[in-house]
Amino acid sequence: MGAADELEPDQGALRSPTVLVVEDEPLIRMLLADILRDANLAVVEAISGDEAWRYVEAGGETDLILTDIHMRGKIDGRRLANLIRQHFPHIIVIVASGNPGPSLGVEFKHFLHKPYDLYRAVGLVLQLLERDALESPDNPPGSN
């Protein structure tokens, strides 16, 4: 049996939506990830834009990315959001920044101003995932 065969039982199973949290402050990331897990979401934690991109590019499950903007590394949150928009347009992106400048809210559809209320952030995540599920091809508008 090959390695791929051993993974077979998990494939195709019903899964919770996966949220990729990209935050270089570990205590904030841990807290946010915990609250998202408590909301029955699968959570992947990335410490930087570089890591997040490596995960997504390697085919890691991702339905929504919640990313900080200002992070060290080659890929900050803005670049990550633009890469995702370009290469994986089906993934929803929420960007967060404490110093957004005048254009960020215009540049990105979903934006959080830091410091944000963690429960409000989770509420936005759930709202966007629910809307996305309702608009998916399996659930055309008006089918419910």
Whether residue 66 contacts residue 48, with contact meaning beta carbons closer than 8 Å, is answered with no
Q: Tell me the three state secondary structure of residue 19.
A: strand
Confirm or reject binding of residue 125 to another protein (CB under 8 A).
no
**Pattern 52-91, binding to another protein, x per CB under 8 A?**
xxxx-xxxx-------------xx---x---x--------
Tokens 């929504």: give the residue.
64
Q: Tell me the three state secondary structure of residue 125.
A: helix
Confirm or reject binding of residue 47 to another protein (CB under 8 A).
yes
Q: State which H helix or E strand residue 32 sits in.
A: helix 26-38
Binds another protein by CB under 8 A, chosen from 32, 46, 64, 128: 46
Taking the complex as a whole, the smallest distance from the CB of residue 6 to another protein amounts, in Å, to 5
88 versus 130: smaller Cβ distance to another protein: 88
| Token couple for 101 | 């400048």
Distance CA 105, CA 87 (A): 21
Confirm or reject binding of residue 45 to another protein (CB under 8 A).
yes
Distance CA 115, CA 46 (A): 19
Window contacting another protein (CB under 8 A); options: 6-14, 90-98, 109-117, 126-134: 6-14
Q: What is the contact surface with another protein in residues (CB under 8 A)?
A: 3-4, 6-7, 10, 25-27, 30, 44-48, 50-55, 57-60, 74-75, 79, 83
